[in-house]
Amino acid sequence: MKVIVVANRKGGVGKTTTVVSLGHGLAMKGKNVLLVDVDPQGHVATALGMDPEPGLFDLLVGGARLYNVTRQARDRLWVLPGTARTATAQTVLVVEGAPDDTLNRAIRRDVNAKLDYIILDTSPSVGRLQEMALTMADLVIVPTAVDFLSSRGIVDLVRELRELKADTAKNWKGRLFGILPTFHDDVTTESRANLEELKGAFGDLVLPPVHRATVLRECTALGETVFETAPTSRAAEEYAALVWKVLDER
């Protein structure tokens, strides 16, 4: 089983779209996938046409078991949803001085042995839950809009990952899997230039980009993934490429 964390220190870069697209794509390839919403906005459930629930709060604060707070979204795809109460859970964890592995232990104690992937959607803000999510990651994917401000968010997160790796007490075994350029526009000079800058700075860590597409916004409104709304679209092909790259990871 692999744990994938999708993160960026800037909002509006396509984190949730990446989480649900990757998760559903892996499920369609026969993998059992759990999506965990660590963002207080609680958008993962909404993006899949489900009602947000305080599942993560109930797990971490209410003492609920994982199997009581997860919901099946699609065949082979489950969601541990969240709401604004996730922020309250984070406050409680800070006040109680909860250790780094609190989130990891709460999830893994009831994980079915047949589960292949856990994918976490994180908040752009720095907080205790976001730190806990990163410490349990095997792989970190960083979506970034191809603009200057989003690129700054990458720098901050990469620095955080390096500090995490250097902290021998945490013994983090994970790594940065890749940087996923989103909202790319071949026509725009700025977008092309920023993509080249990303490649210059991070080399092979830069994944093939996902282009700006109206259909991705429509998916969210419909509560569907791109593989349901527009399976033959370029956006679907681009997210399918990410799915295959994750499947090829050893």
SS3 string, 172-235, reads: CCCEEEEEEEECECCCCHHHHHHHHHHHHHHHHHECCCCECCHHHHHHHHHCCCHHHHCCCCHH
Token pair, residue 155, equals 């720098």
Can you give the pLDDT at residue 79?
98
In the chain, what are the domains?
Answer: 2-248 (3.40.50.300)
What is each CA distance from 218 to 6, 115, 229, in whole angstroms?
Answer: 21, 30, 8
Q: What is the pTM of this model?
A: 0.95
Q: Tens-digit pLDDT profile for the chain (250 aa)?
A: 999 999 998 888 899 999 999 999 999 999 999 999 999 999 999 999 999 999 999 999 999 999 999 999 999 999 999 999 999 999 999 999 999 999 999 999 988 778 999 999 999 887 889 999 999 999 999 999 887 666 677 888 888 899 888 887 788 989 999 999 998 888 888 788 888 888 888 999 999 999 999 999 999 899 999 999 999 999 999 999 999 999 998 7
Give CA angle at 216 (136, 242), nearest 5°.
45
Can you give the pLDDT at residue 149?
65
3-class SS of residue 182? strand
Give CA angle at 160 (154, 163), nearest 5°.
140
Partners of 206 in beta bridges: 179
Token pair, residue 224, equals 């569907």
Can you give the pLDDT at residue 143?
94
